[in-house]
Amino acid sequence: MLENLTQRLSRVVKTLRGEARLTEANIQAALREVRVALLEADVALPVVKEFIAQVKDKALGQEVQGSLTPGQMLVGVVHRELARLMGEHNEPLNLATAPPATVLMAGLQGTGKTTTTAKLARLLKETKKKVLLVSCDVYRPAAMEQLRALAQQVGCEFFAPEPDEAPEAIARRALAWARSHFFDVMLVDTAGRLTIDEEMMAEIRRLHEALKPIETLLVVDAMQGQDAVNTARAFGEALPLSGLILTKLDGDARGGAALSVRHVTGKPIKFVGVSEKLNGLEPFHPERMASRILG
């Protein structure tokens, strides 16, 4: 079984007992353990390096409190710093605009984007919002059908596209429909590809332009680990993201992707996917994620 960070640190910092403050020399070995723990949790290497530097900065010179070992103190600093970097508090969905509040969903194929769109619709419906679900994935009829079926399961209306209608045309018509039929929220699923390509990015930018969404959410698969960073960076550069959703946290992923994607985009993680089921979407809590990453 993997040793958790507290156990590791208490092993390497035994020699520190009795020392009154955390110094460069006495925390070096401990910081090496923190580095390994973060890499094992799948945090991207450049993010780890920067994080370690910040922790070192925070920890150096701190007096070791009587009841704590230096190792425990350092774990405390690491934990607080992790939570702080991931956003301190949960940031809720922002729907504060003239209705319909439009939410654009972005992400690669297979990350759980369509399922997450339906999960979000379900959550919003619980708060008595009238939600319209729209799919602009004209390349995969199966994806459109999937959202139509999910819409029915969560009891929300699905906007039916015309045959051969272009993504922006669907988006514009859906927006007009949502306005004239007094929908509170419109959730727009977009085409996903297996890899990032320029055409896909250009299309989602055009959709963003046409819809002017209040939220543009990137769906990232926590199981992607280090690759999540590249995805987040590419989408973050192409689109003004307002937040992220991390899916598949019910799997083995230790959650390091949370720190990485937050770091490269600077945007808050708003929700996490915790099961395949439609009730498996929860608000993101930085504190809990910090504990999970540290093991």
Cβ 149 to ligand GDP, closest distance in Å? 11
Task: By CB under 6 A, name the one of 19, 250, 282, 287 that touches ligand GDP.
Answer: 250
Which residue is at the shortest CB distance from ligand GDP? Answer: 273
Torsions phi, psi for 217 (to 5 deg): -105, 130
Region 178-197 residues binding ligand GDP, contact defined as CB under 6 A: 192
Residue 280 lies near ligand GDP (rule: CB under 6 A): yes
Site size toward ligand GDP (CB under 6 A) is: 19
Stretches 8-16, 167-175, 245-253, 261-269: which one binds ligand GDP (CB under 6 A)?
A: 245-253
Angle, helices 286-294 vs 256-265, to 10°: value is 130
**HSE-CB for 60 with a 13 A CA cutoff:** 9
Nearest CB to ligand GDP, comparing residues 113 and 208: 113
255 binds ligand GDP, rule: CB under 6 A: no
Q: Given the structure tokens 């995805």, which residue do they identify?
A: 231
**Shortest Å distance, C-beta 181 to ligand GDP:** 25
Site residues (CB under 6 A) for ligand GDP, limited to 192-221: 192
Stretch in the footprint of ligand GDP (CB under 6 A) among 29-37, 157-165, 225-233, 270-278: 270-278
Which residues are known binding-site members for GTP? 107-114, 189-193, 247-250
Taking CA atoms, 236 is separated from 24, 55, 259, in Å, by 36, 26, 15
Sheet containing strand 101-106, strands side by side: 157-158, 131-135, 185-189, 101-106, 215-221, 243-247, 269-273, 281-283
3-state secondary structure of 189: strand
Do 74 and 294 touch, CB atoms closer than 8 A? no
Interface with ligand GDP includes 227 (CB under 6 A)? no
CB of 18 to ligand GDP, least distance (A): 47
Give min distance, CB of 271 to ligand GDP, in A: 10
Cα distances (angstroms) measured from residue 65 to each of 6, 74, 170, 245, 247: 17, 11, 62, 38, 39
Distance CA 256, CA 116 (A): 20
Phi, psi dihedral angles at 237 (to 5 degrees): -80, -30
Q: Retrieve residue 288's tokens.
A: 């809990």
> Of the two residues 55 and 204, which places its CB atom closer to ligand GDP in the complex?
204
- The interface region with ligand GDP, picked from 38-46, 256-264, 272-280, 282-290 by CB under 6 A, is 272-280
Please give the residues from 85 up to 144 whose contact with ligand GDP meets the rule CB under 6 A. Answer: 107, 109-116
What is the 3-state composition of the chain as percent helix, strand, coil, each rounded to the nearest 5? 50, 15, 35
Least CB distance to ligand GDP at residue 46 (A): 26
Contacts to ligand GDP by CB under 6 A? 107, 109-116, 192, 247-248, 250-251, 273-276, 280
